[in-house]
Amino acid sequence: MKRTVRLLMLVPLLGATQTLNAALGMILMLSVVIGLFAVCMASLRNHLASTSVLLASLVVAATLTSCADLSAQRWFLPWRQTSEVYIGLIALQCVALECSGFLRAPMTKCLKRCVMFGTLMLVTGGLREIIGHGTLGRGLSTHWPGLVLFPEGLHLFTLVPGALVLSGLLLAVHQAWTRRHSVIKETHRP
Amino acid sequence: MNRPASVATLVLLALIGASATYVLQRSSAPQIANEQRLLDSRQLLDVMPAALYDNQPLEQPLTLAEPVLRYSTLSGGYRATRSGQTVAVLLRSRSEGYAGTLELLIAIDANGKLLGVKTLEQRETPGLGGHIGEWPNAWLQAFIGKSRTEPTDADWALKKDQGQFDQIAGATITSRAAINAIHDALRYFDEHRALLLGTDP
Q: pLDDT, tens digit, for every residue of B127-144?
A: 888 888 888 888 999 899
**Same domain? B108 vs B148:** yes
Average pLDDT across chain A, whole number = 88
Residue B81's DSSP bridge partners are: B86
% of chain A residues with pLDDT over 90: 53
Inside any domain, residue A187 = no
Inside any domain, residue A189 = no
Mean pLDDT over A153-167 rounds to 90
A62, B39: Cβ pair inside 8 Å? Answer: no
**Same domain? B155 vs B62:** yes
Q: Has residue A169 got a pLDDT over 70? A: yes
Inside any domain, residue A188 = no
Q: Domain of A119? A: 2-182
| Burial category of B8 from C-beta neighbours within 10 Å (exposed 0-12, middle 13-18, buried 19 and up) | exposed
Q: Which amino acid is at B124?
A: E
| pLDDT tens, position by position, B90-116 | 999 999 999 889 999 999 999 999 999
A4 shares contact with chain B (CB less than 8 Å): no
| pLDDT tens, position by position, B13-58 | 999 999 999 999 999 999 999 998 888 888 888 888 888 888 888 8
Domain count, chain B: 2
**Same domain? B155 vs B182:** yes
How much is the ipTM here? Answer: 0.79
A52, B20: Cβ pair inside 8 Å? Answer: no
% of chain A residues with pLDDT over 70: 96
Given its phi and psi angles, is residue A139 left (phi above 0), alpha (psi -120 to 50 degrees) or beta? left
Domain count, chain A: 1
Q: Distance between CA atoms of A99 and A121, rounded to whole angstroms?
A: 23
Q: Are the C-beta atoms of residues A157 and A128 closer than 8 Å to each other?
A: yes
Q: Domain of B132? A: 53-197
**Same domain? B31 vs B114:** no
Q: Are the C-beta atoms of residues A36 and A64 closer than 8 Å to each other?
A: yes
Q: Are the C-beta atoms of residues A83 and A23 closer than 8 Å to each other?
A: no
Inside any domain, residue A59 = yes
Instruction: Say what the pLDDT of residue B58 is.
Output: 84
Residue B88's DSSP bridge partners are: B80, B109
| pLDDT tens, position by position, A103-135 | 888 889 989 999 999 999 999 999 999 998 888
**Which chain B positions have a beta carbon within 8 Å of A73's beta carbon?**
28, 32, 35
| pLDDT tens, position by position, B51-67 | 888 888 888 888 888 88
Question: Residue B51 phi/psi, 5° resolution?
Answer: -75, -10
Q: Distance between CA atoms of A37 and B154, rounded to whole angstroms?
A: 68
pLDDT confidence tier of residue A72, bands split at 50, 70 and 90: very high
**Same domain? B8 vs B84:** no
| Long-range contacts of residues B42-50, Cβ cutoff 8 Å, at least 24 apart | B44/B90, B44/B105, B44/B118, B44/B120, B45/B90, B46/B118, B46/B135, B47/B90, B47/B105, B47/B106, B47/B107, B47/B115, B47/B116, B47/B117, B47/B118, B48/B80, B48/B88, B48/B90, B48/B107, B48/B115, B48/B116, B49/B115
Inside any domain, residue A190 = no
pLDDT confidence tier of residue A189, bands split at 50, 70 and 90: low
Inside any domain, residue A148 = yes
**Which chain B positions have a beta carbon within 8 Å of A62's beta carbon?**
17
**Same domain? B32 vs B125:** no
**Which chain A positions have a beta carbon within 8 Å of B6's beta carbon?**
47-49, 52
**Same domain? B25 vs B106:** no
**Same domain? B18 vs B64:** no
Sheet holding B85-96, edge to edge: B61-62, B72-82, B85-96, B101-109, B114-121
**Same domain? B109 vs B41:** no
pLDDT confidence tier of residue A23, bands split at 50, 70 and 90: very high
Looking at residue A3, what DSSP letter applies? H
Inside any domain, residue A141 = yes
**Same domain? B74 vs B141:** yes
Instruction: Say what the pLDDT of residue A148 is.
Output: 84
Q: Which of B28, B45, B62 is the last residue of a domain?
A: B45
**Same domain? B115 vs B150:** yes
**Same domain? B184 vs B107:** yes
Q: Which of A139-148, B145-154, B157-166 has the lowest mean pLDDT?
A: A139-148
Inside any domain, residue A152 = yes
Of B3, B21, B31, the CB nearest to A74: B31
Instruction: Say what the pLDDT of residue B201 is.
Output: 47
